[in-house]
Amino acid sequence: MKFYLLFLSLLFVFTLTISHVFAQATTKPTESDLRLKRLLAYQKDFSQYSGISSAEGKKAEGLFKDFLTEAVPRSQDCLKNINNEERKKCDKKLKDDYKSAKKFNRLLRYYEIEQGMPYVCIRADLSQGKALEAKGFNPAKASSDNPKETGLTAKKPVYLCTGAKGDKKLRIQDDSGTLLRLSPGDQARTDLKLENIPPAENLLKLKTKLGVIQQ
């Protein structure tokens, strides 16, 4: 009887250890896994861009589709590779593919914003050149009883978003995720006037990089 109890206890500990290790192993995807997951999500939800109607936007959409058709299976095959050297090459290629996919997505979102589609956000600088940063302002926090609370955030990237009616607005994302208005000081900046966003040279750079226009 004692033998059975001891055996059962050991088996229980073994079971717990195995399940813990197994669970931990599945929770830590690599950077490449996450990048591939994002590429797959773009491919799966490609119909989300179907509202784009401009000729240039359609061209970008077609280029993105072709890009994903090639990049996704290549990355999937490559990540099965267990050879260290080969795997390093895969990780590098996947990183480049991921960056390109993000650029395509950003450009397509820009076309959506230009068409007045609601609730779309992109980096105001299109992640090209010098980053556009500003402070956000939360009026609810500013009017709190705490005299030290100014309602201002630290400097963060500026986003160009659209509201319910497709109207453009600039926003800063605070640490809770909320998209705040710019601080009064930043609202007065010329480089953050809506007519200057996104900066023309950044847009040109992005379109050229992706082959949507020739320079």
Partner 1 sequence: MKISQRGFSMVILVAVLGLVLAGLMAYIGSYYFNQQSLNPLTVNKPSQTASLPVEDPEACNDAYNADCQISTENDLEDLTPAEIKKLLQE
Residue 188 C-beta: closest distance to partner 1, Å = 19
List the end-to-end C-alpha distance of the chain, in Å, as a whole number: 83
Backbone angles phi, psi at 123, to 5 degrees: -60, 130
Closer CB to partner 1, residue 28 or residue 147?
28
**Which one, of 100, 26, 20, 32, lies nearest residue 67 by Cα?**
100
Check binding of 118 to partner 1 (CB under 8 A): yes
Residue 97 C-beta: closest distance to partner 1, Å = 12
Q: CB of 54 within 8 A of CB of 111?
A: yes
Segment near partner 1 (CB under 8 A); pick from 17-25, 63-71, 142-150, 188-196: 17-25
Site size toward partner 1 (CB under 8 A) is 65
Q: Which of 7, 9, 81, 144 binds partner 1 (CB under 8 A)?
A: 7
Contacts of 42 (CB under 8 A, 6+ apart): 64, 68, 101, 104, 105
Residue 171 C-beta: closest distance to partner 1, Å = 7
Residue 13 C-beta: closest distance to partner 1, Å = 10
Check binding of 98 to partner 1 (CB under 8 A): yes
Beta strand pairing call for 179-182 and 168-173: antiparallel
Q: CB of 151 within 8 A of CB of 142?
A: yes
Q: What is the dihedral of CA 145, 148, 152, 154, to 10 degrees?
A: -140
Residue 55 C-beta: closest distance to partner 1, Å = 23
Q: Which of residues 152-191 bind partner 1 (CB under 8 A)?
A: 156-157, 159, 161, 163-164, 171-181
70 alpha carbon, distance to own chain's centre = 21
Segment near partner 1 (CB under 8 A); pick from 30-38, 60-68, 80-88, 189-197: 30-38
Dihedral sign of CA atoms 54, 60, 64, 65 in order: positive
What is the DSSP code string of 105-119? Answer: HHHHHHHHHHTT-SS
Q: Which of 31, 70, 77, 86 binds partner 1 (CB under 8 A)?
A: 31
Q: CB of 117 within 8 A of CB of 162?
A: yes
Check binding of 102 to partner 1 (CB under 8 A): yes
| Residues of the shown chain interacting with partner 1 in the complex, contacts defined by CB under 8 A | 3-4, 7-8, 11-12, 14-16, 18-20, 22-24, 26-27, 29, 31, 34-35, 37-38, 41, 48, 95, 98-99, 102, 105-106, 109, 117-123, 125-133, 156-157, 159, 161, 163-164, 171-181
